Structure 1
Amino acid sequence: MADALTVDIVAPDGKVWSGAASRVIAPSVEGEIGLLANHEPILSVLRAGTVRVTSGTDALEFPVTGGFVSFDHNTITIVADAVSTDED
């Protein structure tokens, strides 16, 4: 299946990652949320945990300390309080 989602992950200090994906799993305060193309619109608060993005053959992980996730029209925006990356 081709990548069908547009994903933006941002933190207070700027954009962390942006690109196409086929799946995103995010740690919501109500449990993990799995998002695929054509999912129902959602807005949820994130808890500390790991956002997992499947982009092509890559499996990316972004540890977050909290924030929120928004999904609408196959676009996912994750606004994190802080994100840990390999460069940290």
Structure 2
Amino acid sequence: MFLEIVTPEAILFSSEVDSIFVPGSNGEFQMLNNHAPVVSVLKEGTVKIHLHSQEQIHKDDLKGALAFHPEDAKILTLAINSGTLEFNENKAIILAD
């Protein structure tokens, strides 16, 4: 699936990923490839991005807000205050604050 994370300041992330774990307003949930279409309000928490198994991202390529998970280099994390998620046809867009 393709993920794009956008903030008012910049596009933080734009790439193929294996899965996304987000803090939804009614609880945390995960999306995998071919997930049903969804629109959700996100609350304060951590977005976890499981990188595509073929993808190689280097620390220098990351914007300041994204970080590698301390226990797994194939997981990126992003702390958000709030946001909105739209997922449709294997493309996810997160508008984060």
TM-score calculated relative to the size of structure 2: 0.77
RMSD, aligned α-carbons: 0.8
Which of 17, 30, 35 is 1:34 aligned to? 30
Q: Corresponding residue for 1:13? A: 9
Q: Which runs of 5+ in 2 are unaligned?
A: 54-73
Which of 57, 60, 69 is 2:85 aligned to? 69
Task: Decide which structure has the larger Cα Rg and report it.
Answer: 2
Pick 1 or 2: higher relative contact order, CA cutoff 8 A, min separation 6. 2
Q: How many residues align?
A: 77
Percent identity (aligned): 31
TM-score calculated relative to the size of structure 1: 0.84
Q: Which runs of 5+ in 1 are unaligned?
A: 82-88
Could you list the structure 1 runs, at least 4 aligned residues long, displaced by more than 2 angstroms after superposition. Answer: none
Q: Corresponding residue for 2:94? A: 78
Matched AA of 1:25 = F
- Which region of structure 1 is more displaced relative to structure 2, 19-28 or 52-61? 52-61
